[in-house]
Amino acid sequence: MIQTFLNYLFRYFLFIKNKNITLRGKLSVKNRPIVHVLNGSSLIVGENVTLNSKNAKYHVNMFAPVKIYIDKIGASIKIGNNTRIHGSCLHAYGSIEIGDNCLIAANCQIFDCSGHNTSLENPSKRLLISGDIKPIKIGNDCWIGTSSIILPGTKLGNNCIIAAGSVVNGVFTDNSLIGGNPAKLIKLLK
């Protein structure tokens, strides 16, 4: 009963009161996520989405709560219907789009900008220059295994599975089983 009330308060103060967040339906929040949506940016959350930051009763250890961080004007994150996100970070400078019916396991990192350019000609500039922004698109029915990293510019078709611990960069077609570091196509599922 107390947990249900706390989840209601999280939803109200973090999502409903924020004019930069659009809820399209029911949202299940398990323990408090970290949510930062800069004015002039947007978070759109579909119907029946779960944000799970509760380590108890989850099959692997979560190192941190769900973190949704949008910190550039005009940036957006869209989360599709029936998608579940467990103890992972989504960080957008530009655009991250996650389709319907996706599973994102604990400890994943999904970010559309590296944060800093390499600045090989003048390494001291690394702290002053933001990296290139490349949108991320994850199709419907995708499953991203625990501790995977989805790098800027990645595009996953529908029904893709990412093996745990993979570092994903590139474009993958529908029904791809992807794994490794760097991640490669292992096989087509259909």
**Count of other CB atoms within 10 angstroms of residue 5:** 9
> Which among 36, 59, 91, 116 is annotated as catalytic?
116
Collapsing DSSP to helix, strand or coil, 16 comes out as helix
State the DSSP H helix or E strand holding residue 7, giving kind and residue range, or none if neither. Answer: helix 2-10
Residue 61 near residue 78 (C-beta atoms within 8 A)? no
Tokens found for residue 21:
């967040």
Active site residue 36: no
Nearest one of 140, 115, 135 to 126, comparing CA atoms: 115
| Per-position DSSP letters for 1-66, written without gaps between them | -HHHHHHHHHIIIIIIT-TTEEE-S-EEEESPPEEEE-TT-EEEE-TTEEEE---TT-SS--SS--
Catalytic sites, residue numbers: 116
